[in-house]
């Protein structure tokens, strides 16, 4: 796992053809907006989170965020333990994000 700033996050994403953006927040938080092209799996689902994450392609690069950067850091460490090759944690999370935000239907 590597902790990255928003600037590093955007720079890495712009050249990564193997990227998967993972939002580990709750549904209530997701309702406040999401980063473009992100997929939500709530880390508070516990074993459900692990089961869903284990279905993902471990060779992709995972860009993980939450509200503040804490839960996403935990998720990235857990994913590393599960055999994921590349994980990035967004420092400051969604609270400090000042880029584009979209909303789920």
Catalytic residues: 66
- What are 6's two structure tokens? 């928003």
Exposure letters 65-90 (e unless 16+ CB within 10 A, then b): bbbbbebbbebbebbeeeebebbbbb
**CA–CA separation, 40 and 18 (whole Å):** 18
């Amino acid at each position: 796992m590597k902790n990255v700033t928003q600037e590093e996050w955007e720079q890495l994403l712009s050249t990564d053809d193997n990227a998967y953006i993972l939002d580990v927040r709750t549904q209530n938080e997701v309702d406040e907006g999401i980063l473009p092209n992100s997929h939500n799996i709530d880390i508070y689902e516990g074993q459900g989170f692990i089961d869903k994450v284990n279905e993902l392609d471990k060779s992709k690069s995972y860009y993980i965020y939450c509200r503040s950067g804490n839960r996403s850091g935990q998720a990235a460490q857990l994913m590393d333990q599960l055999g994921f090759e590349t994980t990035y944690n967004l420092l400051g999370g969604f609270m400090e994000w000042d880029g584009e935000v979209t909303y789920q239907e």
